[in-house]
Amino acid sequence: MTDVVGEPILNRRAWRGGELQERADWVVSLSREQVSGLYQLADSLPEDSNDWPGFGLDGKYPESLTELMSSVATELGTGRGFALLRGIDPSDIERLRRVFWAFARGIGDPVMQNAKGEVLSIVADRFAGAERGRDTRGYESNDELRFHCDGGDCIAMCCIHQAPQGGMNGLVSLFAIYNEILANYPEHLETLKAGYELYSRKEQGDAASTKKLGKVQQQRIPVFAWHEGRMSAWLNIQLAEIAAEVTGKNFSVAEREALACVEAIANRSDMQLTFMQQPGDILLINNLAVMHRREKYFDSEDPAEKRSLYRMWLNLHNSQPVPASHSALRRGIRGPSPSITAL
C-alpha cells in the first residue's frame, strides 16, 4: 500500500461516516469464548494495579484471543483506524478495569497521559461548577469536545457508566477529509502540510492550576504528512488556536481558513460516524488516522452513576513509520513513574 502525494487515498482508511452509519460491521461483537479468554487474562494480573506496568503478558494470551488481537491491530493500523468491542459485562467495575488493561496491552505499550504519570486514567467531570481555563483537560469536564487527536498512536476508552443525557461520540477519517480537500479545496493543502504550532497544557492536577499557563511547542505539526510511502495525519484545532492566542501570533488568513475548512468537513453528517458507547464497550482509535469528538453531557445526580470511562494512550505494536514531526506525538506527557487510577 503506497500513498502518493497529491493523489487520493483509495482504501479502507478513507471511509465516510454516512456510509457506515447504517451498517453494523464496524462493531466487534465478542464471542463467549473471547470474553472468557479476556476474563482469564485479567485474572492473571497482580492484585496491586501499581504492579501492572511491569508485569509481562507475552505468552499469556489464550488461543481464543490471538485472532481477535491480530484483526483489531490490523484494523487500527491499515484498516479504518478504529475498532469498537462489545460484549464485556460492565457490572464488576474492577474486573472491567483489569480486562481493559489486559486487552490494551496486547495491542500496544501504554504512554503517560499527564504529569501524574497516569497510564490508565478516568474520564469524568472533575470540575463540575468550578472555573475552567485553557489548561483544563477536556476529559476531566463535561464540555463538548471538538474533533481532535490525542497523544500516542492510539487512544483506548472503556465505558463504565454513560450519562443520562448527551455524551454522543463522533469519529471522522482524516484520510477522507484529505480526499475531500484534494478534490474540492486544494488551495488549503500546502497550508495544512506546513502545519501549526501547538499549546501544551500545564499539568498540575487540580482546579487552581487552570489559571496557570502551559507552553507552546515551537515545532509545527503538519496535518498531513508522508513518510516511506505512507500518509499519516494529526490535528488538534483547539491546541493550535490556544497557541496562537498565547504567543500573539495570529493565524494568517490561509491558516485560519484551512482549519475552518477541515472542521466544517469533519462536522458534516456524511463524513462523521456518530454513536453512543455503551457500558462495557472498548473503543480504540488510531490518532494518526481518525479524529474523535464528544457531545456535552449532563451527569446523573447519583455519584455512583456519573458518566465515567477508563482511558489509555498506546503506542501500537504494529506502528507505521511516520515522519519525525508525527513521531514526537508518540512520547505522551512526561511524568513520574507510571501510575494506574481506579474509579
What is the pLDDT at residue 304?
84
Q: Is residue 288 part of a domain?
A: yes
CA dist 262 and 172 (Å) reads 11
DSSP bridge partners of 273: 171
- Burial label, 22 (beta-carbon count in 10 A; 0-12, 13-18, 19+): exposed
> Average pLDDT for residues 135-149, to the nearest whole number?
84
Calculate mean pLDDT across residues 255-267: 98
Q: Is residue 166 part of a domain?
A: yes
Q: Give me the pLDDT at residue 282, please.
A: 98
> What phi and psi, each to the nearest 5 degrees, are found at residue 15?
-80, 160
pLDDT at position 131 is 57
Total structural domains within the chain:
1
For residue 82, give the nearest of 148, 172, 145 by alpha carbon: 172
Average pLDDT, the chain: 90
Q: Would 228 be classed as within a structural domain?
A: yes
The residue among 81, 339, 66 whose CA lies nearest residue 57 is 66
Range of the domain at 136: 15-340
- Nearest partner of 214 among 328, 329, 136, judged by Cα: 136
Task: Tell me the pLDDT tens digit for each residue of 163-199.
Answer: 999 999 999 999 999 999 999 999 999 999 999 999 8
The verdict on residue 2 lying in a domain is no
**Which runs of E-coded beta strand occur in 100-213?**
108-111, 118-123, 145-148, 154-161, 165-166, 169-173, 196-200
pLDDT for residue 3: 82
CATH number assigned to the domain comprising residue 325: 3.60.130.10
Does 4 fall in a domain?
Answer: no
pTM of the model: 0.92
pLDDT at 205: 43
Rounded average pLDDT over 96-103: 97
Per-residue pLDDT of 191-246, as tens digits, reads: 999 999 998 765 444 333 433 445 666 689 999 999 999 999 999 999 999 999 88
C-alpha cell at 212: 496557570
